[in-house]
Structure 1
Amino acid sequence: MDPELLALAQGGVGTGGLQTWIQENVVPLVLLGIAVILLWIGGRGDNAGVARRSVGLIIGLVALGIAVSGNGPQIGSFLASLLTG
């Protein structure tokens, strides 16, 4: 076998590269698209529509941040402690 191929195979297979690429490229493009759409809707004079959509977007971005950071269990424990004391 080729020694380069063996060295590559020993590194293992993971999704870290794909996750990093999505965080660095896809997420900013989606956020830019959302901002452009909100500015376009606001330019038409539908400020109430922009406010309504912005609240949903903030909730979605918080969920995305929790999912990407990997801190879901800690945040869940914190929120549960707020209710249970």
Structure 2
Amino acid sequence: MTAPEAVVLSLAQGVTSAPLQTWIQDNVVPLILLGIAIILLWIGGRGDNAGVARRSVGLIIGLVALGIAVSGNGPEIGSFLASLITG
């Protein structure tokens, strides 16, 4: 192994996605939620309450999926849901 390869290998071993994940949780997720809230208020302001309700159900499902992805508990939640079906 040459010296540059050893340096790249040693740098790659310490690289994690934790800082990126933290940045997304701290910055991107609140901005997305703010954008969704503004859109729902805009739709509700036009008097389309049924449209707001329809979009809110999809929003709740999306937020649950986002929460599972961000928390890192996906395998445990999947096992729990599978145990509800299989017993």
| Residue 21 (structure 1) aligns with | 23
What is the CA deviation profile of residues 35-65 of structure 1, one whole-angstrom value per residue up to 9, with x for unaligned ones?
0010010000000000000000000000010
After the TM superposition, list the runs of 4 or more consecutive aligned residues in structure 1 that deviate by more than 4 angstroms.
none
Higher RCO (CA 8 Å, separation ≥ 6 residues): 2
What is the CA deviation profile of residues 2-54 of structure 1, one whole-angstrom value per residue up to 9, with x for unaligned ones?
xxxxxxx5x82121111100100010001001000100100000000000000
Code of the aligned partner of 1:47: N
TM-score by length of 1: 0.85
CA RMSD of aligned residues (A): 1.5
In the alignment, is residue 35 of structure 1 matched against residue 37 of structure 2? yes
TM-score by length of 2: 0.83
Unaligned 5+ segments in structure 1 are 1-8
Percent of aligned pairs sharing the same letter: 86
Code of the aligned partner of 1:60: G
Unaligned 5+ segments in structure 2 are 1-10
Of 51, 54, 78, the match for 1:52? 54
Distance 1:16 1:77 in 2: 25
